[in-house]
Structure 1
């Protein structure tokens, strides 16, 4: 297996610039440590450690903190026990078709209306609670905040933090500091844990984009370490962490219905995201890997592969920036952020009986809107009743002469 890997996977032309071999980058003990693929083996047990730590964090810290902030969960009507409908629901979670509803009604002896109501209640049972979403956001907030502070502290005094040409000076024979090695290991372990938990986390509208982001990030971190793109890789991770913890903090206060705090944090997040992901990332990081690096070596496979991953991330940045700008538009013209454009697919209740639970407490504007709609419907109904009475009276009057 080792011979096969050395023959196919670790070919020098894949990982090193032309004219440089593995023997040319061997470092002495006093020169530092060159990154090796086996160094990343610790990310696998670390990913499972993150999952266990998250479980403890959510129950010891996140849940009590959510209660302190006043996070409330909707009270939903549970669907009555029905083995046949439950088996169909687990087999296909989609909305049953009209023919399927008729068939299920015959099997269970229920009307079509009751079958539809059962499926509405059953779907609402599986929708994530605000507490679950709060715990998920608080866990990511804690990691991103710690990672950003630690990453900034380890990079603030490095020459390539200020001059990006230093990322390539002496490449590929560049030693890796121990702090940057652990920065890589913890980031990769965390994203691996997110990928392992993606099936149980809250499913959002950008679910596919999130999976692509996690996979691209893992490939980016792993390949950049093996190809010794560590200096640029640390800058990429720092740019991402700078806005992620702001987004998660805004979500936490959104679930707690702290509207003003949530809106303020969202505005700050939007500014930081748009600047770092649409200006700093493409203008400095991608530019230095795509253009500046050619001043120090000729392009090779690793150059094209690494830049392709960066461009995939930039495409996702543009997609998320579009969603954020839509929310900024709503905030500017409606006075508040009505809803998260990336909101989870399973969060909106579709049962008419639970419709009133969609509105957070204290939202007088939404209540007035609903009250006005109800009043208009009542007025319309009253008018219809009056018109019907007048019509009936005219008919009775018109028939009286004939009766005489």
Structure 2
């Protein structure tokens, strides 16, 4: 690991522990639809002054390697508010990565720069209502359409589970043309995009929550298409493999924090004449956590190395997402169990982290979809001999 990454990660962790964690009790952080934009702006101003805003992107616009990014994002995840404060949160982090690889210089200046500066949030409009047969885990089912009209594209459709749309200034909209899937950069809000509802979900860490949207004759200038018509699925893969891994990084940091809290509880609380940690039923859960935390770190580092080699890492990111999300779920559950009644209250962050990790097992591809994809690869490789 590089000295620069170790230094950045140490600064980020110190900032999150000393400045961000006290905000967890702030009423602005405790909405069911995510922390308020006012709170996010306040924390980001402090992060900027501390020199830890958008720490994974360097001053010259270049990115840390994926292995370097891993230890920085893990450090940012020690609080659910940490990635928001230092600007490493989804969907912005993944959107910044995509624009950095695909956008034109003009598009970067207009749409990417405000995201890197932390002055704007973004949304990725891909997922559609399942009840209408739209795109979800299978993006090839996309029903949102786009057609060229002079020097503009006209987009129509519905979207669902669009994280952070409410309050976002930059949108990446996916739709299908006669050529195939397309991506468009859009200034938000736009009167052609209507918020039908903000969904009530089990997680609550992302500003703006998760929106259901209707798009009616959205007109987008042709020069705001991201890349080429019909190449949208290829660009989605550029974004999704690192984004899956980034989620693993952030929530590993969160589960390390939950483990710290549960350990502190077990080493101070007494029952039946001895500390909880001395009861094997409790101590063994914390020992299991230690093992699983190390396994998660190794999986993340391995997958990051694959991505750094230039591979898309589709299979590797699927394996890592499955392994890490399932392991983190067990860790979070153990922490709740160790703490008993206190583990299911909002008195500590453990209860929220449990909810967040449960949602993580679904977004960016449920475990079962990744296993199905890996099984297809096993068969394909076998038939190749």
TM-score w.r.t. length of structure 2: 0.32
Structure 1 or 2: more strand by fraction: 2
TM-score w.r.t. length of structure 1: 0.31
| Structure with greater Cα Rg | 1
Structure 1 or 2: more helix by fraction: 1
Higher relative contact order (CA 8 A, sep 6+): 1
